[in-house]
């Protein structure tokens, strides 16, 4: 059962809807490594050193500063920075509604599920259904963790999602790339469209994609735990890129006819005999919890 991380109230007009916030995403549980001393295997700790005096500085002697000119800073105490934070509120204030497709996904940041709070089931369902009926989403503001966020409130199949958005100055313009324009010929466009149609799907199925790098690292860690050595393949020499005629590449792709098969992890060599004291990776993870 999901656990709420906060409570809030959606407001639009004179309507107030109590809601509970739930994380909509979770970390990929990526593999993390610790830095160790190569000679003895002990953990290392990070230290901050004063570049002027060359001494290690304790956190109690640190202060935050803003560089307004080269090597010139204005400093702020913790109390001053705290006073500058946005006061936290429990209000998600919808200021306007826009078309469901009006917001470029480039502006999407962190997402949360919103569930109805105590006594909020009816107005919650009403807002969700009204947005779905009008094909519009709510735009507003929300203060949390000392910051004020632009947020989108949008309906999904079984509820409502609160989507944090980036501010305009946080999204760079693609015009900064200086992309050269190139003419596309009609025959090339026709074949490209055919190829897209051939390998298209009706909907996105996230379960069809797996983190192969994570699986390789987990397998390598398990082999290391079991006392095995990992063979490192020599890097291939960098050769010149093969120049292929665009039309021929499109035709060859279409002639394959079927969608590309999912990428499979490389076949692993037969593992040597297990080390006597080796523990499976799952047990090592469990021991850390």
Is the confidence at residue 106, as pLDDT, over 90? yes
**pLDDT band, very low/low/confident/very high, at 120 (cuts 50, 70, 90):** very high
248 Ramachandran zone, left/alpha/beta (phi>0; psi -120 to 50)? alpha
The pLDDT of residue 228: 82
Question: How far is residue 262's CA from residue 246's CA, in Å, rounded to a whole number?
Answer: 24
Is the confidence at residue 64, as pLDDT, over 80? yes
Using a 10 angstrom Cβ sphere, with 0-12 exposed, 13-18 middle and 19 or more buried, the burial of residue 2 is exposed
By residue count, the chain amounts to 289
Letter string b/e over residues 13-48, b meaning 16 or more CB atoms within 10 A of that residue's CB: eeeebbbbbbeeeeeeeeeeeeeeeeeeeeeeeeee
**pLDDT band, very low/low/confident/very high, at 205 (cuts 50, 70, 90):** confident
Is the confidence at residue 1, as pLDDT, over 80? no
Question: How far is residue 248's CA from residue 188's CA, in Å, rounded to a whole number?
Answer: 10
The pLDDT of residue 253: 84
pLDDT tens for 247-276 read 888 888 888 775 544 444 444 444 444 444
What's the pTM?
A: 0.69
**pLDDT band, very low/low/confident/very high, at 2 (cuts 50, 70, 90):** confident
The pLDDT of residue 236: 62
The pLDDT of residue 243: 52
The pLDDT of residue 234: 67
Is the confidence at residue 164, as pLDDT, over 70? yes
Say which range, 62-76, 83-97, 118-132, 212-226, has the weakest mean pLDDT: 212-226
pLDDT tens for 28-63 read 667 888 999 999 999 998 889 998 899 999 988 999
**pLDDT band, very low/low/confident/very high, at 238 (cuts 50, 70, 90):** low
pLDDT tens for 169-187 read 999 998 888 899 989 899 8
Query: Domain residues of the chain, as ranges?
Result: 6-26+85-168, 211-230+277-289
Question: How far is residue 196's CA from residue 189's CA, in Å, rounded to a whole number?
Answer: 11
**pLDDT band, very low/low/confident/very high, at 13 (cuts 50, 70, 90):** confident
pLDDT tens for 126-139 read 999 999 999 999 99
Q: What is the mean pLDDT of residues 74-83?
A: 90
Say which range, 86-100, 140-154, 202-216, 256-270, has the weakest mean pLDDT: 256-270
**pLDDT band, very low/low/confident/very high, at 9 (cuts 50, 70, 90):** very high
Question: How far is residue 239's CA from residue 177's CA, in Å, rounded to a whole number?
Answer: 27
For 6-26+85-168, the fitting CATH number among 3.30.70.3270, 1.10.10.10, 2.40.290.10, 1.10.10.60 is 2.40.290.10
**Mean confidence (pLDDT) of the chain:** 83
């Amino acid at each position: 059962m999901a656990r709420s991380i906060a409570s809030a109230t959606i407001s639009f007009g004179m309507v107030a809807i109590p809601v509970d916030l739930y994380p909509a995403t979770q970390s990929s549980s990526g593999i993390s490594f610790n830095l160790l001393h190569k000679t003895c295997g002990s953990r290392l700790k990070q230290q901050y050193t004063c570049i002027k005096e060359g001494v290690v500085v304790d956190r109690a002697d640190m202060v935050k500063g803003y560089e307004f000119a080269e090597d010139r800073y204005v400093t702020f105490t913790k109390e001053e920075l705290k006073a500058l934070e946005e006061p936290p509120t429990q209000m998600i204030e919808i200021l306007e509604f826009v078309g469901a497709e009006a917001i470029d996904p480039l502006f999407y940041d962190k997402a949360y599920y919103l569930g109805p709070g105590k006594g909020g089931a009816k107005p919650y369902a009403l807002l969700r259904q009204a947005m779905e009926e009008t094909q519009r989403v709510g735009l507003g503001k929300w203060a949390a963790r000392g910051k004020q966020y632009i947020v989108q409130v949008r309906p999904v199949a079984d509820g409502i999602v609160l989507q944090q958005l980036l501010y305009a100055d946080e999204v760079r313009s693609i015009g900064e790339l200086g992309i050269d324009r190139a003419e596309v010929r009609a025959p090339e466009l026709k074949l490209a469209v055919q190829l897209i149609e051939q390998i298209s799907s009706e909907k996105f199925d996230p379960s069809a994609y797996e983190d192969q790098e994570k699986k390789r690292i987990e397998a390598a860690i398990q082999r290391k735990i079991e006392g095995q050595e990992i063979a490192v393949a020599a890097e291939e020499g960098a050769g010149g890129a093969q120049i292929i005629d665009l039309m021929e590449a499109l035709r060859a792709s279409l002639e394959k006819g079927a969608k590309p098969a999912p990428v499979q992890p490389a076949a692993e060599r037969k593992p040597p005999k297990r080390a006597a004291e080796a523990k499976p990776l799952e047990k090592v993870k469990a021991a850390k919890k």
